Amino acid sequence: MNEVQRHNGILSLLEDKQTISVSNIIDNFNVSPATARRDISKLDEIGKLKKVRNGAERIESFKSKWSPLNINSTEFYEEKALIAKAAAALCQPGDSVVVNCGSTAFLLGQQLCSDDVQIVTNYFPLASYLINEDHDDVIVLGGQYNKAKGIFLNPAPNSLSGYAGNWMFTSGKGLTEAGLYKADMLTAVAEQQMLQQIDKLVVVVDSSKIGQRTGMLFCSVTQIDIIVTGKNADPDVIRAIEKQGTKVILV
């Protein structure tokens, strides 16, 4: 893992935590205490975090809440836009595509909008965008609306058994050779209901998530058909994933 990959990983940790310690960085990235402190100092100098005693804390302006109106201000926007474009290129006319929640998912939905594909989603911001843009074929999965996540959740068993798709695109907080990790259990459980209903599972994550273990294991690598991520992804993790038969697209 090079310095750029490590810095992205440190900032990714701060997305979920207010503060991290030097020991957190040592444990997560297998570096020396001197390297961990040097990373903190460099990121502090460029305004990405605030250096504190024995660690760092998140700068609140760094983690701005994105929306469809300010999507281009989301973290790693340029990389996520490339990921969305490459993921959209996998779909063929007439395909049914399940798209889950998140900023990368929204960018993917923008790419697919007006294409000859059916888009199935429980993600309200994406559904609203597609409807407003007059996308021809949108299926919105029902349930109770969760305002914090912007999704519809249906806890009933087999509530999604009537839907199917050629593709399912999902993201997460971490991806290792073990599989995809998600931080929110409610979202993960809702998406897991669809895993048996689709032909191919595609994971779209920016390179800062590669090598990270955060939250619950959503699915194993062997369940993932394709991963689309940035070219700065940790090459050791990518090789370990590819050895298990999963295709990786770097953008």
- Taking residues 222-226, report their average pLDDT: 98
Are 175 and 203 within 8 A, CB to CB? yes
Distances (CA, A) of 43 to 6, 8, 40, 48, 88: 11, 10, 5, 5, 33
Q: Do residues 178 and 242 both lie within one domain?
A: yes
Pick the closest to residue 36 from 10, 1, 11, 68 (CA basis). 10
Q: Do residues 136 and 237 both lie within one domain?
A: yes
Place of tokens 């989603």: 121
pLDDT in tens, 58-98: 886 544 555 666 777 677 899 999 999 999 999 999 999 99
Number of Cβ within 10 Å of residue 120's Cβ equals 25
Are 142 and 152 within 8 A, CB to CB? yes
Give the chain's domain count. Answer: 2
Quote the distance between the C-alpha of residue 32 and its chain's center: 29
Distances (CA, A) of 178 to 61, 127, 229: 33, 32, 16
Q: Do residues 171 and 104 both lie within one domain?
A: yes
Query: How sure is the predictor about 185, in pLDDT bands with cuts at 50, 70 and 90?
Result: confident
Q: Do residues 86 and 196 both lie within one domain?
A: yes
Q: Do residues 154 and 45 both lie within one domain?
A: no
d(CA 184, CA 218): 10
For residue 98, give every residue at least 6 positions away whose Cβ sits within 8 Å of its Cβ, in sequence order, or none.
120, 121, 163, 165, 167, 168, 169, 194, 197, 198
248 pLDDT more than 50: yes
Residue 54 is part of which domain span? 3-58
Domain with residue 200: its CATH number is: 3.40.50.1360
Q: Which pLDDT does position 111 carry in this prediction?
A: 96
d(CA 157, CA 137): 26
pTM of structure: 0.77
Q: Do residues 46 and 109 both lie within one domain?
A: no
Residue of 147 and 199 predicted with greater confidence: 199
Q: Do residues 46 and 152 both lie within one domain?
A: no
Q: What is the largest CA-CA distance in the chain?
A: 56
Residue of 236 and 184 predicted with greater confidence: 236
Residue 113 lies in a domain: yes
Distances (CA, A) of 223 to 40, 133, 147: 36, 33, 30
151 pLDDT more than 80: yes
Mean of the per-residue pLDDT values for the chain?
A: 89
Are 98 and 165 within 8 A, CB to CB? yes
- Taking residues 207-231, report their average pLDDT: 94
- Taking residues 232-240, report their average pLDDT: 95
pLDDT in tens, 48-57: 899 999 999 9
Q: Do residues 225 and 117 both lie within one domain?
A: yes
11 pLDDT more than 90: no
- Taking residues 98-115, report their average pLDDT: 94
Residue 65 lies in a domain: no
Q: Which pLDDT does position 62 carry in this prediction?
A: 43
